[in-house]
């Protein structure tokens, strides 16, 4: 299927409440424009340099999400325009994002990334680390970031029951943080989980934001 048809059929198949982030990493600007002309406005990238280049070449009404591991020394390059950062895994990173957002007179939505997969290579926090971060005095003083929810990646596995279990645990973390710290905060509402291979399970388990690359754009070049 081509990009336009993929987006249209996904939009029909997926509940309206679920936001689709089109993951355009490694895809050319021309492919992003095709998706844009099919009505897609939210795109996700995982490399700072690539994102900055694409941002400068594409329409200004695109909402950009950063979904990869982010080094603190690169935050300043994306702070002027980034809308969502899915990969918060330390207070240090969050503090730097806040600092750069302030400089740019912006508020940046952030998601806490949890480690839910079996693989050790995937970044992310556990529940204790997340709570320590949220309870810190430094966190309380950050006014230019907005905690918007949590994100996680399941194991790279054919075992759908394992994947489901991991998504369930991420949802539990989300619900616990929501009820403990953010029950009055309307912005803390996102559960970013699900990729091309597992988004149907993720939606069944309560995902509100799915990150789809291959299923929209085809295999990455
Ligand atoms: C690449 C990537 C995706 C999209 O992966 P697909 O399997 O192509 O849908 C989603 N989330 C993250 C964090 C990624 O790095």
In the three-class reduction of DSSP (H, G, I as helix; E, B as strand; rest coil), residue 196 is classed as: coil
**Contact yes or no for 203/194 (Cβ under 8 A):** yes
Would you state the pLDDT for residue 122?
65
Q: Is the pLDDT of residue 187 over 90?
A: yes
**Contact yes or no for 130/92 (Cβ under 8 A):** no
Residue 65, ligand 1, Cβ within 6 A = no
Strand partners, 179: none
Atom of ligand 1 nearest to the CA of 23: 4
| pLDDT per position as a tens digit, 41-99 | 999 999 999 999 999 999 999 999 999 999 999 999 999 999 999 999 999 999 999 99
- Residue whose CA lies nearest to ligand 1 atom number 10: 211
Q: Within a 10 A sphere around the Cβ of 117, how many other Cβ atoms? A: 18
Residue 214, ligand 1, Cβ within 6 A = yes
- Residue whose CA lies nearest to ligand 1 atom number 6: 213
Residue 216, ligand 1, Cβ within 6 A = no
How far does residue 132's CA lie from ligand 1's centre (Å)?
A: 28
How far does residue 103's CA lie from ligand 1's centre (Å)?
A: 30
In terms of residue numbers, what domain contains 95?
3-217
In the three-class reduction of DSSP (H, G, I as helix; E, B as strand; rest coil), residue 47 is classed as: coil
Atom of ligand 1 nearest to the CA of 217: 8
CATH of the domain at 150: 3.20.20.10
CA atoms within 13 A on the CB side of 198: 24
- Residue whose CA lies nearest to ligand 1 atom number 12: 67
Strand partners, 191: 150
- Residue whose CA lies nearest to ligand 1 atom number 13: 67
| pLDDT per position as a tens digit, 106-156 | 999 999 999 999 887 768 999 999 999 999 999 999 999 999 999 999 999
The number of folded domains in the chain is 1
| pLDDT per position as a tens digit, 13-46 | 999 999 999 999 999 999 999 999 999 999 999 9
How far does residue 24's CA lie from ligand 1's centre (Å)?
A: 9
Distance CA 166, CA 164 (A): 5
Residue 25, ligand 1, Cβ within 6 A = yes
Residue 213, ligand 1, Cβ within 6 A = yes
């Amino acid at each position: 299927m081509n990009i336009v048809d993929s987006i249209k059929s996904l939009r029909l198949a997926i509940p309206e409440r679920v936001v689709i982030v089109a993951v355009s990493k490694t895809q050319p600007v021309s492919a992003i424009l095709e998706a844009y002309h099919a009505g897609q406005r939210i795109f996700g990238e995982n490399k700072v340099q690539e994102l900055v280049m694409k941002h400068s070449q594409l329409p200004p009404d695109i909402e950009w999400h950063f979904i990869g591991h982010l080094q603190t020394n690169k935050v300043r390059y994306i702070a002027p325009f980034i809308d969502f950062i899915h990969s918060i895994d330390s207070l240090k990173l969050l503090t730097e994002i806040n600092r750069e957002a302030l400089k740019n007179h912006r508020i940046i939505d952030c998601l806490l990334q949890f480690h839910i997969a079996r693989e050790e290579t995937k970044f992310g926090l556990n529940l204790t680390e997340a709570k320590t971060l949220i309870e810190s005095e430094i966190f309380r003083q950050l006014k230019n970031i907005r905690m918007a929810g949590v994100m996680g990646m399941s194991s790279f596995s054919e075992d759908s029951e394992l994947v489901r279990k991991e998504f369930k645990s991420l949802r539990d973390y989300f619900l616990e943080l929501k009820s403990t710290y953010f029950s009055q905060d309307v912005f803390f509402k996102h559960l970013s989980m699900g990729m091309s291979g597992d988004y149907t399970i993720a939606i069944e388990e309560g995902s509100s934001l799915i990150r789809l690359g291959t299923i929209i754009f085809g295999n990455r070049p």
